[in-house]
């Protein structure tokens, strides 16, 4: 077991985390980034990415994240494959514990733990993920211009996704398991008034239909009536699951102020959290846009704010002797 000391500890290895590492390293803060269980975040399960600046042609999600990782390492970010299981943010320096028993002591901390889309949990949904099944209309809607798509859900996200897709697709069918939406009335009015959007009430997706040769692709969905149990097939070129996201913020419960839904509360226009010296970037705090470029921008903001904080605040003189007196100290700065 080892104790790692750093000016800034970054938890999470998505666009927000890697960008924070790049900016923090270039500011000579010698950051340590702990990857967690899914280095690269949601983009590691994304195929073509056409909306990230700097690429004239589509870049594969895993390739984009690998380039971010290499860039962060190149400028000096120390990247460790570990999972943080607990944090103590009650005083500085902050202390985090890794799954393998290592201790991380940091003057500032950037939470970039991301979020995960909720899925239906169907084997066929997993099989066609990235081949017609998506959880992000803004990310993937471009690929369905002039095609028919279905959207699953009944909240604001589902209605907003359907309205966005209606600008691209030839037809959008919203499938909801109940007989009314939970979305805001103004959004419902826009949806019901749109000539390219249809709604199927009281149905759930039983199976995602598709072909496997020559190229794997979705061809439709099999629905089940929640009342009668009868099934029917609806043709579609794409399926968008819009039943919400779960931010990966359980680690910070009771430590940071969280919003309803579990997102980390930040001061508007900043990445500052309820604890001085702790910042949050990316999908763990931002639930409106959910875009890689936005997460990257927030990672930049968090690193710059951490740098400013360190310039204005000397390290807390209260030394946590039980953590700092370990026989092996990695990444220490003096």
Annotated catalytic sites, by residue? 136, 139-140
Strand partners, 256: 253
Question: 184: which 2 tokens?
Answer: 């805001």
CB neighbour class for 271 (10 Å; exposed up to 12, middle 13-18, buried from 19) = buried
User: Cα dihedral sign for 287, 293, 298, 299?
Assistant: positive
């Amino acid at each position: 077991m080892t104790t790692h000391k750093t000016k800034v500890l970054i938890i999470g290895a998505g666009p927000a985390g890697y960008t924070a590492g790049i900016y923090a390293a270039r500011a000579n803060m010698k950051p340590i980034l702990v990857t967690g269980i899914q280095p690269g975040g949601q983009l590691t399960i994304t195929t073509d990415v056409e909306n990230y600046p700097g690429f004239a042609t589509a870049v594969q999600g895993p390739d984009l994240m690998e380039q971010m990782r290499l860039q962060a390492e190149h400028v000096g970010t120390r990247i460790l494959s570990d999972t943080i299981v607990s944090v103590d943010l009650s005083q500085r320096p902050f202390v985090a514990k890794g799954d393998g028993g290592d201790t991380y002591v940091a003057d500032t901390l950037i939470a970039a733990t991301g979020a995960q889309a909720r899925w239906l949990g169907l084997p066929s949904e997993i099989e066609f993920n990235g081949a017609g099944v998506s959880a992000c209309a803004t990310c993937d809607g471009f690929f369905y211009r002039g095609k028919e798509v279905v959207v699953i859900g009944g909240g604001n996200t589902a209605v907003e996704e359907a309205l966005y897709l209606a600008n691209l697709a030839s037809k959008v069918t919203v499938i909801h398991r109940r007989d009314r939406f939970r979305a805001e009335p103004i959004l419902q009015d826009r949806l019901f008034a749109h000539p390219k959007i249809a709604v199927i009430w009281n149905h759930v997706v039983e199976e995602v239909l598709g072909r496997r040769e020559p190229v794997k692709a979705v061809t439709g969905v099999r629905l089940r009536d929640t009342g009668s149990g009868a099934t029917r097939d609806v043709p579609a070129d794409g399926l968008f699951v819009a039943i919400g996201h779960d931010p990966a913020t359980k680690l910070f419960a009771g430590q940071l102020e969280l919003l309803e839904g579990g997102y980390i509360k930040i001061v508007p226009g900043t990445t500052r959290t309820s604890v001085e010296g702790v910042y949050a970037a990316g999908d763990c705090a931002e639930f409106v846009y959910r875009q890689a470029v936005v997460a990257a921008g927030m990672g930049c903001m968090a690193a710059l704010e951490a740098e400013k904080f360190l310039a204005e605040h000397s390290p807390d003189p209260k030394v946590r002797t039980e953590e700092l007196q370990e026989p092996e100290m990695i990444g220490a700065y003096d």
